[in-house]
Amino acid sequence: MHGHNLQLKLLLCTIQAVASFIQLEPKVVTVLRDSAAHFNCSTNESWDVMTWLLDGRTILTISVQHGPLGSDEIVSTLNHSTSALSVWELILMNAPFKPIAQEVRCEFLPTKTSRPSSALFVQEKGNVSILEGDLWAQEGTLVMFHCQAMGWYPSPTVSWVMSYSTVDRSDFNTSDLQDPDGLFNSISVLQIKAEMSTTVECQVSAAPAHQTNSVKLTVGMCFAVLPKTTQDYMVVIAVTVIVCTVVLLVTLVLILYYKRKLTSKQMH
């Protein structure tokens, strides 16, 4: 009989342990920097104080009697509790960037054995640009484009599109460099043969972030030599000024000559 009672007590303890729970959902959250991340902590156990922690730092304290007692500026909370279940939602606004997973945890007092946690991944959407801008090229010549993706996390994927068709990866190469802040800077170099006028687009993505930049490639039968630098423009301007000055001087001389000749005829 004593053994039977012991087994019954163990069974009741097991049932009670299974029936009670503490949950934190979702287990993994991925957002862009400065976006909002949402977490829900729920339990059917009794408690006095709930504490939310981000990487071990307390960002929110909730009293079962008085509600939120104090919180970090970057968080807010909503109460979804019912008579049978305590459910509090943490809204982490303007999620701070770190190049590693950040731990979000909810804890209860009196101390509970279960301390569930979730992983927060914050990504950074950088910028993208094609350094050359719009280009004019002679038909049949080789043209090079450089796509620069700055300030991304994680390391982005770079692809090229021409005339609505994706460029084969063998036609370009991409290199990445991670800066001291953990952000990635990428340079992708595309070299093509100028065959027809088209739009050249560089696409950069690190899900859920996506950004593009495009330029126009104009292909002609002959190559027009255009000034490429400020110095070249200055030379062109200087030559233009000299030519205009010479023409003006010649015109003045001719006017004076004919005026003098006309005056001489009138005197005779």
Walking along the chain (268 residues) 10 residues at a time, the average pLDDT comes out as 44 46 93 93 92 93 89 87 93 89 93 84 94 93 96 95 91 94 95 93 91 94 53 63 70 71 64
Q: What residue numbers bound the domain in which 205 lies?
A: 127-220
Question: What value does the CA radius of gyration of the chain take, rounded to a whole number of Å?
Answer: 36
Q: Are residues 29 and 42 in the same domain?
A: yes
Neighbours of 57 (CB within 10 A): 8
Residue 58 belongs to some domain of the structure: yes
Among 71, 106, 123, where does a domain finish? Answer: 123
Q: Which two tokens stand for residue 139?
A: 């038909």
Among 89, 123, 157, where does a domain finish? Answer: 123
Residue 1's pLDDT is what?
A: 47
Residue 70's pLDDT is what?
A: 73
Q: Are residues 52 and 107 in the same domain?
A: yes
In the chain, beta strands by DSSP E? 22-25, 28-32, 37-43, 49-54, 57-63, 67-71, 75-79, 86-92, 102-109, 117-123, 127-130, 135-138, 142-152, 157-162, 165-166, 172-178, 184-193, 198-206, 209-220
Residue 255's pLDDT is what?
A: 74
Q: Are residues 178 and 206 in the same domain?
A: yes
Q: What is the pTM of this model?
A: 0.65
CATH, residue 40: 2.60.40.10
Q: Are residues 143 and 210 in the same domain?
A: yes
Residue 176's pLDDT is what?
A: 93
Question: Do you find a cis peptide bond into 96, omega within 30 degrees of 0?
Answer: no
Residue 227 belongs to some domain of the structure: no
Residue 253 belongs to some domain of the structure: no
Residue 25's pLDDT is what?
A: 95
Integer angstrom CA distances of residue 19 from 27, 44, 81, 115:
21, 9, 18, 17
Residue 136 belongs to some domain of the structure: yes
Q: Are residues 185 and 93 in the same domain?
A: no
Residue 197's pLDDT is what?
A: 94
Q: Are residues 141 and 188 in the same domain?
A: yes
Instruction: Quote the CA–CA distance of 207 and 190 in Å, as a whole number.
Output: 23
Q: Are residues 62 and 105 in the same domain?
A: yes
Residue 209's pLDDT is what?
A: 87
In the block, tokens 């000034």 appear at: 227
Instruction: Quote the CA–CA distance of 268 and 64 in Å, as a whole number.
Output: 121
First to last CA, the chain: 156
Among 66, 90, 123, where does a domain finish? Answer: 123
Q: Are residues 154 and 181 in the same domain?
A: yes
Q: Are residues 174 and 196 in the same domain?
A: yes
Domain tally, the chain: 2
Residue 133 belongs to some domain of the structure: yes
Q: Is 13 helix (H, G, I), strand (E, B) or coil?
A: helix
Q: Are residues 173 and 150 in the same domain?
A: yes
Residue 150's pLDDT is what?
A: 96
Residue 134 belongs to some domain of the structure: yes
Neighbours of 116 (CB within 10 A): 19
CB hemisphere CA count around 251 (13 angstroms):
6
Residue 34's pLDDT is what?
A: 86
Q: Are residues 107 and 139 in the same domain?
A: no
Q: Are residues 149 and 69 in the same domain?
A: no
